[in-house]
Amino acid sequence: MIKLISVFCLVSSLFFSAARAEERFGVVLISKGKVKIVSTSGTEKSGAIGLDVLEGDTLTTGPESSAKIVTLDRNVIVVGEKSEIIFEKYQHENQKQKAVVIDVKAGNIRSSIKNKYDQKDEYYQIKTPTSVAGVRGTDFYVEHDMATKENVICTFEGKVSYKPNESKTGFLVEAGKFIRHKEGEAVKIITAKAPWVEKTLKALEVTGKEELPAANDSKSVK
């Protein structure tokens, strides 16, 4: 009887460990200042280095704060100060279909995408309350101002499709170009280099050498 119980506990442990692994979005690699992660159950923890980010988690940053996250398939996400981000959906390359949806409620985020997404069967999207940006494989920046409803999309490498919620079509933002757009206004793609680009790249740095910590070195908010 004791052996039977032990086997049951072992199987249950393996089952829940596997389920937890499937839920993992990534791991906090760098945390500066005030960073919090709130789970779907409402549990709140400080966004410490090594903490798992799970599908559905909300990450917030305070003034002069930031967090760098490496996903399971080694994409890199850097969240800037005064931001609220929801990691809405994550299906990585080991699953049937790659799919990523990140909801930027406020603030700014940089995504450095190593994988390729065809935006049909596989997709990587960053939403704001008034728009959605889709990528195939690139390095780009998204910002949303809650007060003015303004979005900023800046592409450092590759191409990004920007689609306001009120529009039926998207607008292609290529490398070196950016959009600064408010809800209800016409979308204009700006080809001149944004004056704040260098500062943004430094503040939300991606080195290209980011590695995912071992599963044993991470822990999640449940």
Q: Residue 22: pLDDT band by 50, 70, 90 thresholds?
A: very low
pLDDT at 61 over 70: yes
**Which band of pLDDT confidence, cut at 50, 70 and 90, is reported for residue 53?**
very high
Domain segments of the chain: what residues? 62-206
Q: Are 108 and 141 in contact (CB under 8 A)?
A: yes
pLDDT at 94: 58
User: Backbone dihedral region of 137: left (phi > 0), alpha (psi from -120 to 50 degrees) or beta?
Assistant: left
- What six digits make up the tokens of 45? 């923890």
Does position 173 have pLDDT exceeding 80, yes or no? yes
Contact 160, 179 (CB under 8 A): no
Q: How far apart are CA 113 and CA 33, in angstroms?
A: 25
Residues β-bridged to residue 35: 61
The pTM (predicted TM-score) of the whole model is 0.83
The CATH topology of domain 62-206 is Jelly Rolls (2.60.120)
**Rounded CA separation 173/183 (Å):** 17
pLDDT tens-place string over residues 108-165: 999 998 777 766 678 889 999 999 998 877 899 999 999 999 999 999 999 999 999 9
